[in-house]
Structure formats: C-alpha cells, structure tokens
A and B are shown apart, each in its own frame.
Chain A
Amino acid sequence: MAASREAFLVVASLAAGLAVGGVALAFGGANPVSGVYVLLTGFTYYPEILVVSASILTLTGLAFAIPLRMGFFNIGGEGQLYAGALAALVVALNAPYTPLPALVAGLAAGGLLGVIVGLLRVKLNVNEVLSTIMLNWALYWFTSYTVITRLSDPVYPHLTREVPEPARIPWIPSSALGPLSDFLPRGLPTIPLISAAVAVAAWFFMYRTLPGLRYRFAGSNEYAARSRGVNVDLIRILSMAAAGCLAGLAGALLVLGHSYRIDTGLSGLSGYGFEGIGAALIGRNHPLGVAAASIFFGGLYAGSERIQVEAMVPAELASIVTGVIIFVVAALSGLRYIAPRLLGAAREV
C-alpha cells in the first residue's frame, strides 16, 4: 500500500535537503557539487562524530517514534536528554566506581519526565506538545543552573567537573578493531553497541512479541484494541515512559561515554532531541529504519565538520540540511489525505 508513498517521502525530502544544502554552500562561497560530495563523504575524517551522533540520534529518534505510534508528539527529547545527562553526571561524580548506577540514573530521570508528560495527557488532557516544550526549556535552565552552582570545575568555571575514569563507559581499544583501526585510532566508544542493542530490542518488541503487536494495533485502531481487552491508556503512558528512558539514556551516554562534562550553555547536549525527530521521520518510525537514518544524519554532522575545514563553510550547514529534510517530510506527510490514490492504494477499512 503505502510503501511507494513512504519511499517517495524519504527520497523527496533527502533530495530537497541536499539541494538546499547545495544552495547554502554556493551562498557560503563554496562549489555546491563538490561541497555536497564532501558533506556526504567527509565522515571518513571524523568517524567518531559519525559513530557518536548516530548512536545518540538513534535513541532520541526512537524517543520520538515510539510514542508517535500512540498519537503522542514527544518533542521533549531535548529536555529528557538534559535530565538524563544531568542525573548521570551527578551520580557519576558522587559514586565514581562503575558507570552502571549513573546510566540507570539517567534512564530513570528521562523516564520520570516521560511518565509526567504521559500522565498529564491521559489524566488531565494537557497537550503533550505544550508540556514538553515547557519542560525542555525549564530543564535547559535548571541544568544550566545546577552546572554553575553545584558541579562547576574550579579551573574551568563554564564546565562541570569531569566524570572520573571508573565511572566512564569503556572504549574498545583500536587494536581490537582489526581493519577499522586505521579509521578509529582512539578506538571505538561502546555507545553504538548500546544504541544498536536498544534499536534491535525495540524492533524485536514491536515485531516479534505479542505485547508489541498490541501496542502497534492500539495506536492504529483504539476501539478495536479496547474491545479486545487492551489497556490503551496504560500503553500510552508506558510509551511516553519508554521514550523518556531512551532520551535519558542518550544523555547519560553522551556524558559517560563521550563528553564527560556538561558546559553551562549545554552546547554538547542541545540539538540531539530535535534532530532525532528527523531520524524518526526519515526512518518512518521503524526501529531499524530510525537507526539507519541516524547513521545518515551522523554522517552528515561528520561531513559538515569536514566542510568547515575544507571550504570554510560553517558546520551549521548540517542544521540547514536537517531542517529542510524535516520540513519537507512534514509538509508531505498529509499526502495520505489529499491524494490517497496518487501514491499507493486507498485505505479501505
């Protein structure tokens, strides 16, 4: 049915994003064709950016995709990620023995926010777009406040103290990577393994378990699900809780496995939550699709770093491309209403 329409959406939005990226490159004084080429291939210079961004976007992408099936717009991935990062950092600084408690703390902090948003919507009918926007910014400033007042490094006041070595997520040493070791001289962070495991687990849950089938069904036909004994409200709240956990985990992984600190402007954290939405849309809300799209976006960020070096065009080029891709997917998402027969068959049920 909709497979051709889905493919059209993805191709059209990627093409539009790269085309506008090319125009922006020309505007920035670079050759658009070779510029786009560098944007797409530059990741080879920065494989670590690719790997880390793709891993984080997979999680924040799932944090958008999972509740979306239940009709929730979780645009609170940003705030949930900040909360996860902050909680993980606090725990890691206070109990610097293993990364596990900090990971759990990050997961729980994000999950708690998700549950709040879910309860507000299901019990009090507070729109989740509104509540997540408010929580995003409240958490942004709260995190910034905590970073300044409680966690700041005596030497670098705009940064927090570093996560102590034992609480960091271990890296896989370069020597163990075989042929990839040339690309990754520092080795490989374990972050992508965790993200990949999460994506596969999400896929397995959705497509290989009965509760997963019920969850997909409930999002698509609430009446049918209720009439067969499925607790739809509970699934709604759980889907937001799961989303919060994943975004919180993303924040914890960034702090424990990549940046080891937070800065007062949260520049190492901000953006992933919103950009994950792009990964979710391009991945068509399928866990493995989200992971694949995240790799594309991760490559884009790495490529944009390269562009900045090669063509002196700011790395924000990646945001332009991402923004256009999200915009175009969203703009075309209504095709199912206005041209049901244009692409794929009409829905009969």
Chain B
Amino acid sequence: MPEILSDLTTVAVLASATMVPITLASVGEIVSERAGVVNIGLEGIMLLSAWASVVAFLIGGAGYLEAYMVGGLLGLLLGLLHGAISVYLKGDQIVTGIGLNIFAAGFTVLGTYALWGTFSNSPSFQPMPGIAVVAGVKVSPLVPLSIAAGVAAWLFLYRTVTGLRLRACGEDPRSAEAMGVNVGLYQLAAAGFAGLMAGIAGAYLSVDYQGVFAKNMTAGRGFIALANVAFSGWNPLVAVAGGYLFGLFQAAAISLNIALQEEAAASLINATPYLATLVVVVLVARRGFRAPRWLGRPFVKE
C-alpha cells in the first residue's frame, strides 16, 4: 500500500512538471484566440524553440536563463510572423499553422544532424536546477510561474480595459473597429504573445525538463495545449487546472511505461485527453460555452 501511495505522490508531483509546457502554451493561445487569431502551429513553435534553446546552451555558451530567452524570442518572432500573416495579409490561419508544424519537424532534424551529426538528438546535459525536490521529482521555477501566467492572463482579460478591448476584437472586429479599437494591432500583439509562451514552453522541455533536444520531443504537446484551450472554455484559470489534468494523464502514462513496461496502457492514457476534450466540447456546445465568434477568420475592412 505505501508503495502505491508513494507512486501516486510521484505521479502527482510529476504532473506539475508535465503541466508546464501545456499550461504555458494554452495560456498564450487563449489570449491570442480571444483576440481572434488561432495558431495551430504551437507544436511547431515549441519544437523549434526547444531546439534553438539547446543550440544556444550547448553551442552558444548561453546559461539556462539565456537559453530560455532564446527560445522565448524565437517563439515571439514566429508568433508575430503568424500574426502579421493573419492580420495584414489575411492569410489562412489554420493552414499556415500546419505549414509551420511540418517545417519544424523537418528543420529540427536537419539542424540536429548539421550540428551534432545524428538524426535523433543532441548530446544531453544537466537540466536547469529546480527550486525544490518533492518526492524525488525536481520542481522547476516554471511550475509556479506557469500558474502565475494563467492568473495574470485572467486578470488581464477580465479586469483591465485593454483586455476588454482585446476580447472585443475576437468577438466582433467590425464593431470593435467602429468603437475605436485598432484591431490589427491587438491581434498582432496577441499572436506574438502566444508565440512567446509556446517558445518558453519549448525551452522548458529541452533545457529544464529533459536536458536534451530529441527529435519530435514535443510529442503532441502543442496539440494538447489546443485541446486544453477548448477544454477550458477560453478561460486561463480553467486552463491552469486543465493543464494540470492533462499533465496528470501524461505523468500517469510515463510512470506506467517506466514502472510496468506497459506501453499499451500508456497509449490508451495518452488518447484520453483528446477524447475527453472532444466530449466536453460536444456536451457543452449548446450552452453559452463557445469560442470567440470571429476566431480564425480574416477581418477585412470595408
């Protein structure tokens, strides 16, 4: 019995580590989608940033913090690029995201090979030290920070006039513009923020969580973040809870895989968050729970 209890504790703590990238990316994406820009390239941004921050760390001689900054900055730039295409070129938001994901999957492999001569991963290194160790699991400073990011995003969206103006853009850009909101600017900034958060999430994965860059190491986390955005009903506070829940699924899958060599059960657990999200969205589709109305559509002024 005690062994199972300690296992459960480990899973619960491990979930705080696996929740970080999901939560960060979800919070950023919620702000962006509230402004009306959807980015399904989160997965690609995470992967590129994970790679870039390892390059900065191993080759550029950067410290942990600088590596984080490189990841975040690359994410910010990619988010702004996506935002500019969505806002000013009226490009197709969904499809650019898909392009970004495919590009990232190819580029990081090629880049890994070019720098380290293997297709699969960078040399591993000592991951960033944590602020505490609980039940044998390192606790990264990003754990409290990602929760704080969710709270801050909620305060911003629901307790500031700027947040209100941003939400107006995602609901009805035409009316927002008529009421004096510079819709393009808000959307661009929000898209940049989503990129920044996904970038930090990517850096966390490689520099902080695993201490290596490995091919396709994001393993669908960007998509889980998108699921969490819908799951949370576009509310950053709920997204923090959702992030932990989805983190718990991942932690359980990891523990099962390690402890019992139960690859099969892990697969089923991995499938759960996606199905759960779909069920939640279907169940609440009729009641007040809905995406921002103008999500993903180009706003063309008359």
What residues make up the interface of A, taking CB atoms closer than 8 Å to B? 24, 27-29, 73, 75, 120, 124-127, 129-131, 133-138, 140-142, 144-145, 148-149, 264, 271, 274-275, 277-278, 281, 313-314, 316-335, 337-338
Contact = CB atoms under 8 A, between A and B. Distances in A.
Contacts of B224: 137
Given A141-B271, A145-B271, A333-B92, A318 B106 contact: yes
A314 B110 contact: yes
Given A133-B223, A338-B88, 16 more contacts: A24-B110, A27-B114, A130-B226, A133-B40, A137-B270, A142-B267, A274-B98, A316-B107, A319-B109, A323-B106, A327-B96, A331-B89, A331-B91, A331-B96, A337-B90, A338-B90
Contact of A337 (B267, B282, B300): B300
A124 B285 CA distance: 7
B13 to A, nearest CB: 24
5 contacts: A138-B278, A330-B92, A330-B94, A330-B96, A338-B300
B95 A330 contact: yes
A313 B106 CA distance: 11
Given A144-B267, A326-B102, A27 B40 contact: no
Contacts of B233: none
Given A141-B267, A145-B267, A313-B113, A127 B291 contact: yes
B98 A75 contact: yes
A147 B277 CA distance: 24
Contacts, number: 178
Nearest to B41: A327
A337 B298 CA distance: 9
Interface string B113-137: 1100001000000000000000000
B111 interface: yes
Contacts of A135: 274, 278
A323 B90 contact: no
A319 B94 contact: no
Contacts of B102: 271, 274-275, 278, 319, 322-323, 326
A342 B220 CA distance: 40
A278 B98 CA distance: 9
A129 B94 contact: yes
Nearest to B100: A327
A278 B110 CA distance: 20
B281 interface: yes
A133 B227 contact: yes
B91 A126 contact: no
Interface in B44-66: 44
Interface range, B side: 35 or more
Contacts of B291: 127
Contact of A316 (B85, B94, B105, B285): B105
Nearest to A158: B263
A320 B107 contact: yes
A271 B94 CA distance: 17
A333 B110 contact: no
Contacts of A274: 98, 101-102
Contacts of B96: 326-327, 330-331
B275 interface: yes
B99 A323 contact: yes
B8 interface: no
Nearest to A273: B98
Contacts of B93: 330
Closest 10 CB pairs of A and B: A323-B103, A319-B106, A334-B90, A327-B99, A326-B99, A141-B271, A330-B95, A323-B102, A145-B267, A320-B106
A138 B220 CA distance: 11
Contacts of B44: 323
B227 A332 contact: no
